[in-house]
Structure 1
């Protein structure tokens, strides 16, 4: 009996094995990628099935699919809303790779026009798509990352920047004959065109932590690899930060998403139903949970809005599982010809969907169609996502971003193990290519030319000569003015820095000049963040009263030479300065300094007071003061070259506080005083209503001082528009020993002009500004009440041209149109009061060169 059972078991085992083997041998497995034939972009959630069966699969966010069966089906059916259904022959019982290109139907969803004669007009009321999106909005708080008590994950991201849409003729030019190894080819219908020239690549790998209570984030940068440029124009870390600002993280749960310098309204923002049209275009029941495909288009094609699709879970949580966003060709954003965002979400341990992968692609160019441009891509991949795993407080101590010492020296094996995106593995040749390019003499010459154009300096060995835009200028005092200067670079020393210039006026026949020496304590550079240096300098030059005191080195240039009204009151200033600058990684800094300033009147300006009703002339005013400048700019980002820094304006405020103490008798100082000034700069984003740049400033001077040491409010007598000056105020028109000012510059981003037929094609933008100044003089500092003080200047007719503010504030405002030819802003400025002062204008037209995205 036992033997019979054993034999039966063996026979059964063999039969099961043979049956399984036969089934495996006859299994049909089809896999591949499905893309749009028009632009080669991956299409998510395409339905793939064996024709005549119920066996189906869906593509993922990258357009990839896999489907299998043991049945002998010989045709694969591919269908998707808005695309033509296609059929493909397959061989039963084999594994095959089948990459498929789908063609769009003759009419895209975004191109559908609803006519009231044929169909009912689009309405939010009673629209099931709008009701669905409102449910998504209601559930945002429970679906976003911040709803968890704690989150941790690893993040890998790569970012690439390339010249794009290059023709064969351009590629084969003599200039690029030596650079053919740099070019990559792609399908001509893809964004960026057939030929692209990669010029930058950066990869990073980090460990990220988030805690809800108390709220805190921590990013530990474990690895950072990027292309290195060895020239004075580009700072390698800074260029990565700048590109990252352009290709910022995309959080669809935020009401607004910022790209470059523009704010796009999210399709699931609270106000989205007001600005978007929504349509339910598909129901996906093969996914767990089931999904609803929700398509959307902007009501106004010129507005900063997306079009695309989002996939909403049908499990009562109304979470976004996947999203595809893109901009239309008519959107009012400069130089961006196309922009696409793909987002993929996965479930965490609590059943919530977290962002597991995002891909952003932007095509920049001067023209809307065709022509050379720039292509930028950024992919973020998240793995090991853990929810509600509490970490000790020690993890969150210190700065929110910590870069480990070995981050930039990781081995190739480390990167091979941590590149979480397969596409990035194909791009690593860019590092080798750019290293080779950097060694080529022709490329170095090209970067020298770029440095001259954008920075104004030409490098000669270990020094730089410039800036070229100040070589020639003119004014009423000096006439024709020549200036020549230069500075050392990090090639000379990373500790010691020297800067100098010499200038000569052919009318006043006087030499001017500047000389400074600095020592960097961080052995990096006096320009590198965080700064730590001491500097001593001497300067003798011409100033406009009220302007020179605000600038360490006034950058005279040819364009600023053209001014309106009378411009014949000047100062010869001698400055002796010593400064110690210390900056910290949290963007707090202090500058401790000493300055001796000797002011000698020039032109028609005189220093005179009255003693016993008799005018007494004074040759010069000398002040000696210690100062402390405090600055705090939380989360500040900037583009920093090797010898300059350009702040990137964001939503975070910048705080400044300055205190100066004048000491009589110290190095010839003639006055005792205290001068305190503070300011707050803040950008406010207002979604579809644009953005406002606001500055609130105030100051107070305690002590008796002559008018050259008072706050001489910044005026502008040029024909260019200046954001932080009073554009219809004359030089030295108003002085104060206490004041408060408010400056608002609002950009509507085409809110009104985008709605006007024909005009909207120009993609113009509206501006409105307000400038208010309230202040005054105490009796002890008012020359009109104390004849012993230096008297206010007078014009050629003997009429005083300098005043203190009365009970009313000085107010001016403007309305402007920007983005003219993409680079010009034109403002009509109106001055509202103090209209009886001599030599003033009630209205003025001012222009400004202003590059905007």
Structure 2
């Protein structure tokens, strides 16, 4: 017995001695971009076979003998290996790893035997089981609470930048950067948290009703809404995913096998499910696709974890990386719910990641799901996301400590303090003001603003050099009432021009507002201000050598508008205007010559004409933009478009006898505008409009439809760029335009363009047609150009010679274009061909137009 006790004692002694010499290392492996834990990564002692695999939360524990090695390493396919030193003097230590994305190359780790890749069958099963696993396809309704966190940080702040004079007052921030983050240095600019109640009804829509928000940094709600609009929600089960206005092919698309290669890498138990780990990479290096890995259940082919990155050669501007992390959890042993989603977007001016850039991070998480409740539809219909009072939703710290879905890390808590500090630094305020001037065109001085600066100095053939200055109230004075006025002087015509407007907003969220305006100016447009299209800022400067057809205009107007729910809005305007065309005697090549036969008494040897127009008009508008995304400012909404067509209906009633107005008429116009993705070949935008003008008596052509031409060298999307102004006139009209943006689908096939230029192809076709009644044609017959004169600079005919010229007597007008956009990321150049009416006066058969245009 005593020998047995002695043996046990010796065994315990030596075991304790050995254990005392064993080194125990614990830690976590996380993704450097998403900050998410990385499960199933290999962690091992370099040069030995001693290693472990991280658990589902990215944690590991490893024991080693001091003699085994002095370095610890971790690796995972698609990431660069990380090696860290082991401190042999400590028997217990913590070593964390941050994994950075590595090469796309799958390498030689996978061997596919003869026959089909077995991963392809798994992908087919994932696609086949979407209806059982995609929550929005399997349930009829659900409610949940959604939490979002968005952060924007300036990154790549170099020592040289820190030493710059303008950043001297930010030194206390730079000195504390390392205490805020153990990643690369950054300067936080914006952080926001929001909590929504989410309501979903199948085949209807999804509503997100904001319940609380906390914003640090930018306080302007319009800017906050814009930042939020850049982070569209997406579902990775869908065929495509929309990010930054671009459409990406999902690796789980029904046609995924045509765009991706898949490889089986591992199998183990994840979230209680035996699962496969698959890697995927794009077949086409230039497409809007991803590469990454995911875990999928062997039992029901539900996605469990997805980690993927944007194809680095995708044709996306100013973006080096997009990283997406998605996690699903089982619910009631029946559903798979999306519990967490992370998106990281690395904005940078260079692909080498060396210049100053911005990192955008968005986290979305869900909890408290209530699926297929009996009264879901009633609850859904009661919710109104548009009735939001942002000022009532700001919550204090104690609320967020209790209600945010996961606690802020030490780093994240530090970010809030840094953002608030940065906002109060004078240099930051100066930069913010410069950005606001560039974007808005106005400089704000407390309660007033001056601008827009784009109109301070202009030129045209009638005014010559023109100087203008505008002054108005800013949002700092009031977010309910706004007043603005301007004055300008033309040194050639020696005339003052001026105008002003005011408006009062009853309800910003319903866009209920009333306003009034007056202008006394010169313009290229004969349309009233309710009908005008957008013109280029350079329309007066850079124009072809043809007559500049302008007119002096005076217009006074009052209006009221109201936005109903679901994208429907109305507007009514009552206006009176005077049009005084500028004739040929005031311009170099001939101006807008106008004489209208008011009363034709040729049999009596007398013809009565008028050369100016007075018109009083009532304009009624209706606009329907279902599910339109928009940014609502205090006085103006900015549309971000809708996935449904936007329809505009307008009726104008011309009333004779009020303020000496001369004509009775009715004008109706109906327009539709829409755009949609055509992945993987970009997107298509189309627009069409039809209208009719009714009157018992003839109307001057300035009150008819003058088909919009463009005589400037700058491209104008709303005009016919090969048509001259006032070239065609109609009282019944049809306009149509279709434009296909191919993105990088074609030009990315050329390696040099794909790598260095990132050019994108765009093609377009435009057409217009109309008719002109005999009474209107006859009354306007003195306004013509002689068909036999092909160029204006050859000769200007008198008014009373030849027949009326300007109606569609040879069928529709048509033009086509092919262009390159994304030149230096913001320039577009189009080559245009005029297809019909090639013998018209000043017809430009081929032309080149330039415009500024930016998109991601």
TM-score (norm 2): 0.85
Alignment partner of 1:240 is 2:224: yes
Change (3 A) 1:28 1:628: farther
Task: Determine if contact 2:579/2:612 at 8 Å carries over to the other structure.
Answer: yes
TM-superposed deviation, 1:238:
2.5
Is 2:118 the partner of 1:163? no
On the 8 A contact 2:449/2:473 being kept in 1, the answer is: yes
Is 1:710 the counterpart of 2:690? The answer is no
Larger mean CA deviation between 528-537 and 723-732 belongs to: 528-537
> Are residues 103 and 165 of structure 1, via their aligned partners in 2, closer, same or farther at CA, if it must alter by over 3 Å?
closer
Q: Say which of 828, 832, 851 aligns to 1:825.
A: 828
Q: Describe how 1:501-520 pairs up with structure 2 within 5 A.
A: 501-520=486-505
Q: Structure 1 residues 600 and 264, CA, compared in 2 at 3 Å: closer, same or farther?
A: same
Q: Name which of 568, 582, 591 aligns with 2:571.
A: 591
- Hey, what does 2:206 align to over in structure 1? 217
Residue 659 (str. 1) matches residue 651 (str. 2): yes
Post-superposition offset of 1:611? 2.8
2-side partners of 1:314 and 1:554: how far apart?
A: 57
* CA–CA separation in structure 2 for the residues paired with 1:383 and 1:779: 69
Distance change (3 Å), C-alpha of 1:470 and 1:398: farther
Give the match for residue 371 of structure 1. 355
What value does the CA root-mean-square deviation take over the aligned residues?
3.8
Tell me the SS of whatever aligns to 1:674. strand
Q: Is this contact kept in 2: 1:156–1:418, CA < 8 A?
A: no
Where do residues 29-428 of structure 1 align in structure 2 (5 Å cutoff)?
32-35=27-30, 42-46=37-41, 58-60=54-56, 64-65=58-59, 80-81=76-77, 97-100=94-97, 108-110=103-105, 112=107, 126-146=116-136, 147-183=138-174, 185=177, 194-212=184-202, 215-227=204-216, 229=218, 236-285=220-269, 288-315=272-299, 317-369=300-352, 370-401=354-385, 403=388, 408-423=393-408, 426-428=411-413
In structure 1, the partner of 2:514 is 534
Compute the displacement of 1:540 (Å). Answer: 1.1
Provide the rounded CA distance (Å) in 1 between the counterparts of 2:397 and 2:277.
Answer: 42
Aligned pair in 2 of structure 1 residues 388, 58: CA closer, same or farther (>3 Å)?
A: farther
Segment drifting more, 828-837 vs 650-659: 650-659
| 8 A contact 1:110–1:307 mirrored in 2 | no
CA distance in 1, matches of 2:99, 2:200: 41
Q: SS of 1:302's equivalent?
A: coil
How far is the alpha carbon of 1:594 from its aligned partner?
0.4
Residue 576 of structure 1 corresponds to which residue in structure 2?
556
- Kindly provide the CA deviation profile for residues 61-110 of structure 1, in whole angstroms up to 9, marking residues without a partner as x: xx5225699xxxx999966456769899899x998744245699xx8453
Please report how far the alpha carbon of residue 584 of structure 1 lies from its aligned counterpart in structure 2 after TM superposition: 3.6
Q: Please say if residues 671 and 690 of structure 2, whose CA atoms lie closer than 8 Å, have aligned partners that are also in contact.
A: yes
Does 2:469 match 1:484?
A: yes
Match of 2:683 among 681, 691, 715: 691
SS at match of 1:368: coil
Instruction: Check if 1:521 corresponds to 2:506.
Output: yes
Q: Which residue of 2 aligns with 1:769?
A: 764
Could you tell me how far apart the structure 2 residues matched to 1:596 and 1:102 are?
A: 68
Q: Per the alignment, in what secondary structure is the counterpart of residue 409 of structure 1?
A: coil
List per-residue Cα deviations over 1:274-316 (Å, max 9, x = no partner).
Answer: 111222222224652111111111122121111111211100x
Residue 46 of structure 1 deviates from its aligned partner by 2.2
- Compared with structure 1, are the counterparts of its residues 539 and 56 closer, same or farther at alpha carbon in structure 2 (3 Å cutoff)? same
What is the CA distance between 1:385 and its match in structure 2?
A: 2.6
Aligned match of 1:18: none
Paired with 1:665 and 1:311, the residues of 2 have a C-alpha distance of 76
Q: Which moved more, 1:791-800 or 1:157-166?
A: 791-800
CA positional deviation for 1:719: 0.8
Question: Is there any run of 5+ residues in structure 2 with no aligned partner, and where?
Answer: 1-15, 585-592, 787-791
1:496 aligns with: 481
Looking at structure 2, the residues matched to 332 and 838 of structure 1 have their Cα atoms a distance apart, in angstroms, of 42
CA gap 1:392/1:375 in 2 versus in 1, 3 angstroms: closer
* 1:166 partner SS: coil
Task: Give 1:209 shift.
Answer: 2.3
Displacement of 1:210: 1.8
Partner in structure 1 of residue 773 of structure 2: 778
Counterpart CA distance in 2 for 1:603 and 1:583 is: 42
**Cα 1:216/1:259, change in 2 over 3 Å:** closer
* Residue pair 2:535, 2:716 contacting (<8 A) in 1 also: no
Deviation sequence 1:492-544 (CA, Å, 0-9, x none): 3344321111122111112111022322223xxxxx54422211221111122
- SS of structure 2 residue aligned to 1:129: helix
Q: Distance in 2 between matches of 1:253 and 1:405?
A: 33
SS in structure 2 at match of 1:767: strand
- Pair 1:503–1:96, CA change in 2 (3 A): same
The Cα shift of 1:787 comes to 4.0
Change (3 A) 1:286 1:178: same
Unaligned 5+ residue runs, structure 1?
Answer: 1-21, 231-235, 523-527
Cα pair 2:831 2:848 within 8 Å, conserved: yes
CA distance in 1, matches of 2:409, 2:392: 18
Counterpart position of 1:13 = none
| 2-structure distance, mates of 1:439, 1:776 | 63
Most deviating of 151-160 and 427-436 = 427-436
The equivalent position to 2:837 in structure 1, one of 834, 837, 848, is 834
CA gap 1:725/1:541 in 2 versus in 1, 3 angstroms: same
- How far residue 141 of structure 1 moved from its aligned partner, in angstroms, is 2.1
Q: Give me the whole-angstrom Cα distance separating, in 1, the residues matched to 2:76 and 2:415.
A: 36
Q: Cα distance, 1:162 vs. partner? A: 1.4
- Separation of aligned partners in 2, 1:301 and 1:53: 37
Name whichever of 220-229 and 202-211 sits farther off.
Answer: 220-229
Cα-to-partner distance string for 1:290-344 (whole Å, 9 max, x where unaligned): 11111111122121111111211100x2111111110233211010011111111
**CA contact 1:623–1:662 (8 Å) conserved in 2:** yes
Q: Is the contact made by 2:73 and 2:83 (CA closer than 8 Å) also made in structure 1?
A: yes
State the SS of the aligned residue for 1:176: helix
Are the equivalent residues in 1 in contact too, given 2:262–2:278 (CA < 8 A)? yes
Shift of 1:188: 14
Aligned to 1:133, the other structure's residue is in SS state helix
How far apart are the structure 2 equivalents of 1:38 and 1:410?
29
Q: CA contact under 8 A between 1:40 and 1:187: conserved in structure 2?
A: no
Do the aligned partners of 1:294 and 1:309 also contact (CA within 8 Å) in 2?
yes
Inter-CA distance 403–49: structure 2 relative to 1 (3 Å threshold): farther
3-state DSSP class of the match of 1:340? strand
Q: How far is the alpha carbon of 1:37 from its aligned partner?
A: 8.0
Q: Give CA deviations for 1:664-705 in whole Å, capped at 9, x if unaligned.
A: 112222111111112121111111110011112111111142
CA distance in 2 between counterparts of 1:800 and 1:299 reads 63
Once the two structures are superposed, residues 377-407 of structure 1 have per-residue CA deviations (whole angstroms, 9 ceiling, x without a partner) of: 0011112233333335431124552647785
How many angstroms apart in 2 are the aligned matches of 1:731 and 1:507?
23
Name which of structure 1's ranges 471-480 and 797-806 shifts more when overlaid on structure 2.
Answer: 797-806
User: How big is each residue's C-alpha offset from its partner over 1:463-500, in whole Å with a ceiling of 9 and x where there is no partner?
Assistant: 11111111111111111112111211233334432111
- CA distance in 2 between counterparts of 1:290 and 1:793 reads 81
Q: Distance in 2 between matches of 1:570 and 1:353?
A: 64
Q: CA deviation at 1:243?
A: 2.1
Q: Which moved more, 1:402-411 or 1:842-851?
A: 402-411
Task: Report the 3-state secondary structure (helix = DSSP H, G, I; strand = E; otherwise coil) of the residue aligned with 2:393.
Answer: helix
Whether contact under 8 Å (1:710, 1:736) holds in the other structure is: yes
Distance 2:533 2:128 in 1: 55
CA distance in structure 2 between the aligned counterparts of 1:78 and 1:554, rounded to whole angstroms: 58
2:433 matched to which residue of 1?
448
Is this contact kept in 1: 2:448–2:474, CA < 8 A? yes
Partner residue in 1 for 2:595: 607
Between 1:649-658 and 1:661-670, the stretch displaced more is 649-658
Given that residues 691 and 733 in structure 2 are in contact (C-alpha distance below 8 angstroms), is that contact kept between their aligned partners in structure 1?
Answer: yes
